[in-house]
Structure 1
Amino acid sequence: MGNVVDVLTEAVINRPLAEVAGFAADPDRAPSWYANIREVEWRTPKPLAVGSEIAFVACFLGRRLAYTYRVEEWMPRSRLVMRTAHGPFPMETAYRWEELGPAETRMSLRNAGMPQGFSKLAGPFMAAAMRRENRKDLRQLKEILEAGPRT
């Protein structure tokens, strides 16, 4: 049995909530701000909805990971929760957006699950690596959105 990994990362992005949530919740845009995501393929028809399935190919800790997420919760401009439908280990990714002001949004990114196929001793290392990667991803998202045209 593997170790539970639960990583929460937050960033304040100086853009309106609708813009941040709209960009971050679009799976097709994931490779532009997730450093590790290489490919995205919709397994169900667009648009995003509860039950949607999206396949991702990522590279993490030097390994190629192919997995499919199913959307479990979708509240536009508020919350998106996806869980592994097919993949190397059960994982849940949750996004939450909170309006702090007319052009200021707090986004939280949480990954929780039980990585398998890695050493049992790798749990703390994996959590640290995920936290580092998530911070980098949110910084990239912030840079992309804050560099964009003002709405």
Structure 2
Amino acid sequence: MPLSKLEVSIEINRPVTDVIAFVDNCRNDPMWQTSVLQSEKLSDGTPAIGTVYRVKEKFLGRVIEQDWEVTDRNTDGSFWSAKTMTGPFPMETSMQFSANGPSTRVHRTLSIDVGRFFKVASPVVAHIAKRELEMDFANLKELLESEV
């Protein structure tokens, strides 16, 4: 099955705790992630390993719903990873937040197994997804830096 691994990084002129707090709040997802229509945390408590989120998003003209489970997370939220439990194709993602003086460096990876759904168009799907991740990070930067 075709697997695409994408990586995107950005520097945001905000303290690391502010960036983590904003990204941790799934209600903010539609504000900065272009494909996300709705995001909700299904588990109680603060984000931790095992926390489940339901995300409704638009991808390649289709509205899809996926449940994501946090598979790894540092206590302070500076690193976490998650994978889809449901949805049209398997995905895994991780985000790392690191202080760089008064700014925060954010790095995200996303692995998509497009499998039988987009087998022939796998490189095109990867290109579209990478461009979307770059736009998401530009949105995140603009939102957080405008709040300074």
TM-score range normalised by the length of the shorter chain = over 0.9
Secondary structure of 2:85's partner? strand
Quote the residue 1:4 is aligned against. 3
SS in 1 for 2:66: strand
Decide whether the 8 Å contact of 1:88 with 1:116 is kept in 2. no
Q: Which amino acid aligns with 1:80?
A: W
Identity in percent: 28
Partner Cα separation in structure 2 for residue 122 and residue 7 of structure 1: 16
> Residue deviations 1:85-105, cap 9 Å, x none?
11111111111111111x211
CA distance in 2, matches of 1:17, 1:53: 24
User: Shift in Å at residue 67 of structure 1?
Assistant: 0.3
Q: Which residue of 1 aligns with 2:90?
A: 90
SS at match of 2:40: strand
C-alpha distance after superposition, 1:9-34 (max 9, x if no partner):
00010111111111112222111100
1:23-34 alignment runs, 5 A limit: 23-34=22-33
**2:38–2:57: 8 Å Cα contact kept in structure 1?**
yes
User: Which whole-Å CA distance do the structure 1 matches of 2:62 and 2:120 have between them?
Assistant: 17
Answer yes or no: is 1:120 the counterpart of 2:133: no
- Does the Cα contact within 8 Å between 1:88 and 1:117 map onto a contact in 2? no
- The range that moved more, 64-73 or 75-84, is 75-84
Consecutive unaligned residues of structure 1, counting only runs of 5 or more, are none
Question: How does 1:7-26 map onto structure 2 within 5 Å?
Answer: 7-26=6-25
* TM superposition outliers: structure 1 runs of 4+ over 3 Å: none
The alignment's C-alpha RMSD in Å is 1.2
Indicate the residue corresponding to 2:106 in structure 1: 107
**Cα deviation, residue 116, structure 1:** 3.2
Look up the SS of the partner of 1:86 in the other structure: coil
Show structure 2 runs of 5+ residues with no match: none
Tell me the TM-score normalised to structure 1 length: 0.92
Aligned length: 147
One-letter amino acid of the counterpart of residue 96, structure 1: Q
User: For 1:130 and 1:119, how far apart are their aligned partners in 2?
Assistant: 13
User: Distance between the aligned counterparts of 2:10 and 2:97, measured in 1?
Assistant: 10
Instruction: Indicate how the Cα distance of structure 1 residues 133 and 111 shifts in structure 2: closer, same or farther if over 3 A, else same.
Output: same
Aligned to 2:140: 141
Supply the distance in 1 between the matched residues of 2:116 and 2:31 (Cα, whole angstroms): 28
Contact preservation (8 Å) 1:6, 1:112:
yes
Q: For the residues of structure 2 that align with 1:117 and 1:37, how far apart are their CA atoms? A: 23
Is the contact made by 1:38 and 1:58 (CA closer than 8 Å) also made in structure 2? yes
**Structure-2-length-normalised TM-score:** 0.94
Identify which range, 69-78 or 133-142, moves more after superposition.
69-78
- 1:81 corresponds to: 81
